């Protein structure tokens, strides 16, 4: 009985002392690396992915911005003093290019149009005469079909006269708000609708003059 008990204790002791066998390489942490690639190659892949993401963002942005820029709205900087005191030089405006594809220009709207005498040149003026109307100026005041046009947005009227002009079905008579210093339909003649780019929608700069534009009310 004593011998049997001793044998069992020896067996337990043998079992409890049994340890797993390790090789020196098993303790090398490099064996647990999840990426066996060369560090230089891995860095190159990261740079490539970064450049690819930038290109993707740029292409997506262009796909969104270009159609808007070309067909819906575009920026415009005021040059000169022909629209003072309502618009000053270097003011930044956003032009609505889509409205006139569905609607006709209205009297009092401020528009951007191509100079019919000089390609690549653009003007900002106000629509005064509409198609089919007869427009004239007497002592600087505008007459539409013989009736004087009340213009509260004008600070200084000129004193000149302009002979009566009958507008065709696609023509507009445009004037600058600074009547004393403006190159407009008094010199250019009526403007065809095909030359009109769009209407002034928003003033984006300077911030203290930020805002949209409403049609003036004519009695």
| Consecutive 10-residue averages of pLDDT for the chain (219 residues) | 49 44 50 53 73 71 52 74 92 88 93 87 94 96 96 90 95 96 94 93 86 84
Peptide bond into 206 cis (omega under 30): yes
Going by DSSP bridges, is the β-strand pair 134-138/141-144 parallel, antiparallel, or unpaired? antiparallel
Which pLDDT score is estimated for 205? 84
How would you class 9 by CB atoms within 10 Å of its CB: exposed for 0-12, middle for 13-18, buried for 19 or more?
Answer: exposed
pTM beyond 0.75: the answer is: no
Which pLDDT score is estimated for 54? 78
Which pLDDT score is estimated for 38? 63
- Contact between residue 95 and residue 204 where contact means Cβ atoms under 8 Å apart: no
CATH number of this structure's domain 72-212: 2.10.109.10
Q: What angle do CA 34, 42, 47 make, to 5 degrees?
A: 140
How would you class 133 by CB atoms within 10 Å of its CB: exposed for 0-12, middle for 13-18, buried for 19 or more?
Answer: middle
Which pLDDT score is estimated for 202? 87
Which positions are annotated as active-site residues?
A: 82, 125
Distance CA 143, CA 128 (A): 10
| Domain ranges, ordered by start, for the chain | 40-71, 72-212
Which pLDDT score is estimated for 21? 54
């Amino acid at each position: 009985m004593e011998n049997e008990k001793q044998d069992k204790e020896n067996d337990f002791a043998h079992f409890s002392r049994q340890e797993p066998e390790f090789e020196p390489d098993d303790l090398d942490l490099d064996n647990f690396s999840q990426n066996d690639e060369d560090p230089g190659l891995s860095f190159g892949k990261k740079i490539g992915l970064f450049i690819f993401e930038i290109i993707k963002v740029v292409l997506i942005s262009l796909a969104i911005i270009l159609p808007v820029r070309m067909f819906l709205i575009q920026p415009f900087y005021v040059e000169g003093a022909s629209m003072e005191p309502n618009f000053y030089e270097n003011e930044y405006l956003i032009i609505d290019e889509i409205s006139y594809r569905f609607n006709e220009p209205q009297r009092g709207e401020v528009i951007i149009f191509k100079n019919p005498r000089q390609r690549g040149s653009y003007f900002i003026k106000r629509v005064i005469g509409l198609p089919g109307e007869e427009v004239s100026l007497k002592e600087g005041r505008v007459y539409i079909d013989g009736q004087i046009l009340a213009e509260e947005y004008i600070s200084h009227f000129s004193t000149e006269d302009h002979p009566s002009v009958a507008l065709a079905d696609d023509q507009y008579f445009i004037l600058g708000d600074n009547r004393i210093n403006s190159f407009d339909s008094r010199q250019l003649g009526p403007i065809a609708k095909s030359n009109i780019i769009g209407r002034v929608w928003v003033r984006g700069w300077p911030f203290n003059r930020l805002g949209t534009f409403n049609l003036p009310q004519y009695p």
